[in-house]
Structure 1
């Protein structure tokens, strides 16, 4: 389940963002969170595992008039290969059904796999995108 980011979750968010290759330094992580918080069109979401309520993933987006730009997606390595990115994108898509989700150079391949799976009923839901 997607949860809106709050400052109470800063350490968890920094931990999840640190899995993004170019966001390893603590000051860089804090600056990235501050960048998202500086503009209401930019949003951070956390993903909670419905079975355990553990926070295991995050999304960073820019919300435009007709599109949602997926800037960051990260999942705790212990939970990868479970199709969680697909679930996260499905819920984001439901939250903004009138907008198209697009990606950056880094996130576009994940979006492409998700769209292919979403549009192909022959593919299993559990196919991995992570």
Structure 2
């Protein structure tokens, strides 16, 4: 067994300790005729592990604007296996709901070992 296979097994074990099944609601924005075309789709389900980032303080940021204020919680993260299709970027927005809490993927980082994808991890933001 090489390192990539061992890493995939370790990720599967970690997810299995506290699994959560999510279905992604994806919004994709593509250039079209001087504007943007918005396409919505559903991806999944995927089994991931969602956790609070231990290194970050448990703090809720209050953001104010012309319409009022809102609370933003940016202390959540996820771990997914190598087969999950979870994305984040300027042209794609992935969101899902768990137990009445809506999350947006703010960063999705595929992890590779010698060209082989072993997992995806990233950060989440509570929205809505």
When Rg is computed on C-alpha atoms for both structures, the one with the higher figure is 2
Q: When the two structures are superposed, what TM-score results if normalisation uses the length of structure 1? A: 0.31
Return the structure number with greater strand share: 2
